[in-house]
Structure 1
Amino acid sequence: MQKTGRAGLRTRQERLAALRQRNLTPVLIVGGGINGISTFRELALQGIPAIIVEQGDWCQAASGALSRMIHGGLRYLESGEFSLVKESVQERDRLLNNAPHYVAPLRTTVPIDSWNGGLINATKRFFRLNEKPTRRGALLIKTGLSLYDLYTRRYGKLPHHQLNNQPQTRARWPDFADWVKFSATYYDAWISAPERLGVELIDDTERANSEALALNYVSLIESDGERVTLRDNLTESTYTLTPHVIVNATGAWIDRLNTHLAPASPSKKLISGTKGSHLIVRSPPLLAALRGEMVYYENQEGRVCILFPWFGHVLVGSTDIRIDNPDDTACDAEEQRYILDSLKFVFPHIAISEQDVLYTFSGVRPLPASEAAVNGRISRNHSLVLIPPNDKQAYTTLCLVGGKWTTFRKFGEQAANRVLNLLGEKRRVSTETLAIGGGRNFPSPDRRAGWLHECSEKYHLTTERVEQLLLRYGTRAQPIMRLLAEAGDTPLRHHAGYSDNELRWLIQQEQVVMLEDLLIRRTNLAISGQLTAPLIEEIGALLAKEQGWHDAQYQQQLKRTFSRLASLHGLTGLYPVSSSQEDPHVGNA
């Protein structure tokens, strides 16, 4: 199948060639998580020929390890971060409008054990007199949700909360533990494909500004104070750039990158990361007990945990552990036991064991450096730290500290405005109501049946197949459907829900470099528990053909993929490969 050469859809070789020609750049963004991507988008839409590089794949680290919630920040009310709650509610609702293909409302229930518990400790926490987490009673939760409703009424559109007494709670939630006396119900939102949303933001950006350049698997390795050296992590080729502004959007790696940018200048520590781990659990009884909702609960010591339906299974998390080294973060056995024990606390009659865990994922939250004794008390707000030029550094560095998924657009807007000011430029375009990727012209519920029928007739696909593609890609499914109509839609041998040409489209159009990119971030095959060894090998062979790998490269990719799935995601039963066999630069032998 021939590769397209349309603007905004360059091959990796074309992107690297363009990078080689760019000796100067007004802005270099380092870090391809959601906040770096958002800043890239905001700047490029203002006509700035920004460059963004990422040492791995897009949204590979913390931006791919979120709880899959897009929430208004209910718990930030307790710490008095009212501006963050306002911003979160606004941005949550913007995502519901701008990315309806991936972001949807989520009914949420909070189980409660008493009427007036936690009042004294909550007051102390508000005034920073106590940081210890404690259980919260119905009166306190009712007060918080009433305040939350004020923000929702003014800035959002989701339904208001309800407080349920014991009979009402038992009628709807018969499987709750005996300690549950009340429950409260409110609405937030969830995101089905965060990594895909990041890729779509990049694609939109490159289409809107042909001078904008995005490259994954490229690292910044050194600086002489004026120029920086970038390295292609696949070929080891290096590239030199002279930037006017560097945006450090590397999250948990911010402090590490700052030492590369100004090695002779001591810099203040900006990040105090905490690890958050989650499990995907196979449990039909638990899935049935959730009734399509999320349960947002406090475990024995008062730490907040969540669980909600996830592609036929259950997502549950998370932990909050201080961590110094963000590389290759994984959910360890102790964390897994902690999360499973928390499940027993709220659903004691539903048996779940370690054998029911299908997949694990973990990331480091890039929280601002803090001396807080309790990790949960570290602010989730974001800030910008400017490092001006000096006698040893010619460029300005702007560090993106903190932040959360829900507010990525606002954070990127704020960062871009700061950069525009440094460049003497002005904002031309707002992204507040700008649809993202497959959310553009997404059919509303009353139009969906007609849209599905029209596409089914046009592309000669069944209505069921069209709906499947719509759920995966939104309206970006249409060029895929066009390809399938022209070149065929032959199902994979080991997964009838995907076809070879569907995956070829993803490989060619979405900067797929490693097999892991395709299994974990361009599709939901890994996190939804659908991977098998034969399927991985089949998709690997398809990718090898598209990339022109010889057999040794294909075998290296398989080893790398099986190894990382085992060490980082708990998939130890797929293939007996030791992590010591992994080659980080495989695919280019």
Structure 2
Amino acid sequence: MTQTGSTEFRRSPSTREQRKARLRADPSPQVLVVGGGINGIGTFRELALQGVKVLLAEKGDFCSGASSAPSRMIHGGLRYLENGEFSLVRESLLERNRLLTNAPHYVSPLPTTVPIFDYLSGALGAAARFVGLSEGNARRGALVIKLGLTLYDILTRHNRLMPTHRFSGSRETRRRWPDFAPEIKCSATYYDAHISYPERLGLELVQDTLSACPDASALNYAGVEAIEGGKVVVRDMLTGERFAVSPAYVVNAAGAWIDGVNGRMLGGRAEKRLIGGTKGSHLVVRNERLLRELGDNMVYYENQEGRVCIMFAHFGNVLVGSTDIRVDNPETVRCEADEQAYMLESVRTVFPNIRIAPEQILYTYSGVRPLPYREGGATGTISRDHSFHRRAATAECPFPILSLIGGKWTTFRAFGEQAADQVLKDLDMARRRSTRELAIGGGREFPRTPEARGEWIRRVSQETGLAPHRIEELLPRYGSAAREVAAFIAAGADAPLATLPDYSRREILRIIRHEDVETPEDILVRRTAVAIAGRLTLAVVEEVTGILAEDRRWAEAEREKALRDTVASLSARHGFVPPSRSLQDVERNRIA
């Protein structure tokens, strides 16, 4: 097994253009993975590390669908216990701990408090749901929560990285949480984990794989169109160039788009519906009182009908989520006004005296969970476990298609491992290595204690000449890879961004040149935390677009189109509302 400090992952991955050139010369991967969300990326990584010649094709940017819209939790799934999904919870807790170990730069412990409104309520309902006699939701009382948390602790007893749960009585709860609703009787606190940069972690997995595996290739903005003459047609969504790819095997990891991809590959003859997605929406709000009240805790609570919601501090604001609504078209999802009202009202069930004004909503996002299709029933009772559907090769489709159903951020590695093992079995190949203890990206050699971080910052500051405070800004963004970022920044004339002074021009340039960036939105939403931190303004979008345009030598018309397209996309998907003045007015006053 590769050790944490191995240099094989320090080689620079090839560029997108280099990978396209290779595909033109040799369009015959053993396996084509369709979908560059976290499940597709995890499977791509697993296969490539076993020596499989694999191509990953994603129609948008990497981690731009549901993988960019999680609750930012890495968790065991406490509520899944009610559905009897013990194996999923066990696997999730194990994978949570692996991510705490393998990606400590982005995944960290998150103390989680459950406010409890009653002592005995929900026991009968939970039992009925467990044995399949009921699908209704109801608030869980202390007895049900105590049982669930005890099972949580039992399942991690052999691999415990964090404290066990504890209960707090009325007096202690009121002392710690003075703004809790008076109906709250007591509380329980346990630990799960938080992920700061999920999209960057996905990108690191891609880059690690490209660096370590010469036969692996990955393209963002590359969509699967059809099967023609027994070959899969992959189109560059930016240039229109088409590639006729001849794989021996296809893994469909397109998430909520799985049925559409299968339909295109099978000429509209998909055998059955596999995905019954549900939409999860979230809000980022700026409310100082709520932020102070939460501190470093997440509050994991139930609203009146028993729907589980969350709120916790994230990049200096409060993240609130989420909804669970059936959807048929994943292309058009956004956080609608009624969902926003629902989540704001749910906060008031716990903190009735804290009002979040509509203007305090800084950012919204939505994603579609790729859950297994089921006719009817409550969305909360649909299994969150993952599974496969294998379609055998036929004359029209001369390769098997393995569709990945379900899955979540916490379990991506295990799901990818299981999918890869199925593919390896079908290809009569053996597994060479495990990823269970394989560090990811900037998690390798990451300084884990305050003392180690201080020494690391001092040393890198001396090596690069950047001020210690600048290294301190870069470390949580890039982990130990901040050393390479700092070296790039120090290699040329640099200046802080006018609109984001804690970022600099050369930091953005490195992202552009080394991280498969094609659009300004790639930078603002997925390579940095600018969007989810609630820092989007028209001036920010314009300045970042200008840096990208300058580096790519875009003509003025290209720069203006990219600016307009980015504003339109951010408005449609994330509720971004630019000032009413026209972009032509902005252009006349553009930042130099």
**Structure 2 residue aligned with 1:476:** 481
Contact kept in structure 2, 1:206 and 1:212, CA below 8 Å: yes
From 446, 449, 458, give the equivalent of 1:453. Answer: 458
Contact kept in structure 1, 2:251 and 2:403, CA below 8 Å: yes
Name the aligned partner's letter for residue 566 of structure 1. Answer: S
**Structure 2 residue aligned with 1:232:** 236
Is residue 90 from structure 1 mapped to residue 110 from structure 2 by the alignment?
A: no
Contact kept in structure 2, 1:229 and 1:240, CA below 8 Å: yes
**Structure 2 residue aligned with 1:444:** 448
Cα offset for 1:573?
A: 3.2
Distance of 1:39 and 1:189 partners within structure 2: 23
Distance of 1:373 and 1:493 partners within structure 2: 52
**Structure 1 residue aligned with 2:574:** 569
User: CA 1:180 to 1:536, structure 2 compared with 1: closer, same or farther past 3 Å?
Assistant: same
Superimposed CA distance per residue, residues 264-301 of structure 1 (whole angstroms, 9 cap, x where no aligned partner): 64411110000000000000000001021000000011
From 168, 181, 187, give the equivalent of 2:191. Answer: 187
Cα offset for 1:576?
A: 6.4
Name the aligned partner's letter for residue 524 of structure 1. Answer: A
User: CA 1:476 to 1:7, structure 2 compared with 1: closer, same or farther past 3 Å?
Assistant: closer
Counterparts in 2 of 1:137-152, with a 5 A limit?
137-152=141-156
Counterparts in 2 of 1:284-363, with a 5 A limit?
284-363=288-367
**Structure 2 residue aligned with 1:584:** none
Distance of 1:266 and 1:481 partners within structure 2: 50
Identity of aligned pairs, percent? Answer: 51
**Structure 2 residue aligned with 1:519:** 524
Distance of 1:374 and 1:281 partners within structure 2: 29
Contact kept in structure 2, 1:279 and 1:316, CA below 8 Å: yes
Is residue 255 from structure 1 mapped to residue 259 from structure 2 by the alignment?
A: yes
CA-based RMSD: 1.3
Distance of 2:229 and 2:67 partners within structure 1: 30
Q: 2:183 aligns to what SS in structure 1?
A: coil
Cα offset for 1:460?
A: 1.1
Contact kept in structure 1, 2:112 and 2:298, CA below 8 Å: yes
Contact kept in structure 2, 1:112 and 1:182, CA below 8 Å: yes
Name the aligned partner's letter for residue 543 of structure 1. Answer: L
Is residue 223 from structure 1 mapped to residue 227 from structure 2 by the alignment?
A: yes
Name the aligned partner's letter for residue 204 of structure 1. Answer: D
Cα offset for 1:372?
A: 4.7
Contact kept in structure 1, 2:14 and 2:210, CA below 8 Å: no
Distance of 2:333 and 2:469 partners within structure 1: 38
**Structure 1 residue aligned with 2:51:** 47
From 124, 127, 147, give the equivalent of 1:123. Answer: 127
**Structure 2 residue aligned with 1:366:** 370
Cα offset for 1:484?
A: 1.8
Name the aligned partner's letter for residue 207 of structure 2. Answer: D
Q: 1:327 aligns to what SS in structure 2?
A: helix
Superimposed CA distance per residue, residues 518-564 of structure 1 (whole angstroms, 9 cap, x where no aligned partner): 00000000110112211211111100011221111110111111111
Contact kept in structure 2, 1:86 and 1:155, CA below 8 Å: no
Counterparts in 2 of 1:574-589, with a 5 A limit?
574=579
Distance of 2:428 and 2:30 partners within structure 1: 11
User: CA 1:434 to 1:576, structure 2 compared with 1: closer, same or farther past 3 Å?
Assistant: farther
Cα offset for 1:571?
A: 1.1
**Structure 2 residue aligned with 1:488:** 493
**Structure 1 residue aligned with 2:4:** none
User: CA 1:88 to 1:574, structure 2 compared with 1: closer, same or farther past 3 Å?
Assistant: farther
Contact kept in structure 2, 1:89 and 1:156, CA below 8 Å: no
Contact kept in structure 2, 1:562 and 1:575, CA below 8 Å: no
Query: How high is the TM-score relative to the length of structure 1?
Result: 0.96
From 508, 514, 517, give the equivalent of 1:509. Answer: 514
**Structure 2 residue aligned with 1:100:** 104
**Structure 2 residue aligned with 1:582:** none
Aligned length: 573
Q: 2:534 aligns to what SS in structure 1?
A: coil
Distance of 1:406 and 1:576 partners within structure 2: 43
Q: 1:409 aligns to what SS in structure 2?
A: helix
Superimposed CA distance per residue, residues 491-529 of structure 1 (whole angstroms, 9 cap, x where no aligned partner): 112211001111111101000001100000000001101
Distance of 2:488 and 2:179 partners within structure 1: 48
Contact kept in structure 2, 1:225 and 1:395, CA below 8 Å: no
Cα offset for 1:13?
A: 1.9
Contact kept in structure 1, 2:567 and 2:578, CA below 8 Å: no
Which blocks of at least 5 consecutive residues in structure 1 are unaligned?
A: 1-5, 579-589
Contact kept in structure 2, 1:73 and 1:88, CA below 8 Å: yes
From 536, 541, 560, give the equivalent of 1:536. Answer: 541
Name the aligned partner's letter for residue 199 of structure 2. Answer: E
Distance of 1:24 and 1:531 partners within structure 2: 42
Cα offset for 1:149?
A: 0.6
Name the aligned partner's letter for residue 78 of structure 1. Answer: E
Cα offset for 1:8?
A: 4.8
Residue range with higher mean Cα deviation, 28-37 or 11-20: 11-20
**Structure 2 residue aligned with 1:11:** 15
Superimposed CA distance per residue, residues 465-499 of structure 1 (whole angstroms, 9 cap, x where no aligned partner): 11110010001111111112221331112211001
User: CA 1:577 to 1:67, structure 2 compared with 1: closer, same or farther past 3 Å?
Assistant: farther
Which blocks of at least 5 consecutive residues in structure 2 are unaligned?
A: 1-9, 584-592
Distance of 1:172 and 1:409 partners within structure 2: 37
Superimposed CA distance per residue, residues 361-381 of structure 1 (whole angstroms, 9 cap, x where no aligned partner): 000000011135110110100
Superimposed CA distance per residue, residues 390-424 of structure 1 (whole angstroms, 9 cap, x where no aligned partner): 23221110100001110000000001111111111
Name the aligned partner's letter for residue 381 of structure 2. Answer: R
Name the aligned partner's letter for residue 312 of structure 2. Answer: F
**Structure 1 residue aligned with 2:555:** 550
Is residue 271 from structure 1 mapped to residue 271 from structure 2 by the alignment?
A: no
**Structure 2 residue aligned with 1:586:** none
Q: 2:84 aligns to what SS in structure 1?
A: coil
Contact kept in structure 2, 1:42 and 1:431, CA below 8 Å: yes
Cα offset for 1:144?
A: 0.8
From 80, 83, 92, give the equivalent of 1:79. Answer: 83
Distance of 2:94 and 2:503 partners within structure 1: 36
User: CA 1:264 to 1:485, structure 2 compared with 1: closer, same or farther past 3 Å?
Assistant: closer
Q: 1:295 aligns to what SS in structure 2?
A: strand
Cα offset for 1:179?
A: 1.0
Distance of 1:360 and 1:131 partners within structure 2: 29
User: CA 1:574 to 1:35, structure 2 compared with 1: closer, same or farther past 3 Å?
Assistant: farther
Superimposed CA distance per residue, residues 120-157 of structure 1 (whole angstroms, 9 cap, x where no aligned partner): 11111011101000001001101110111101212332
Distance of 1:536 and 1:35 partners within structure 2: 30
Distance of 2:458 and 2:452 partners within structure 1: 10
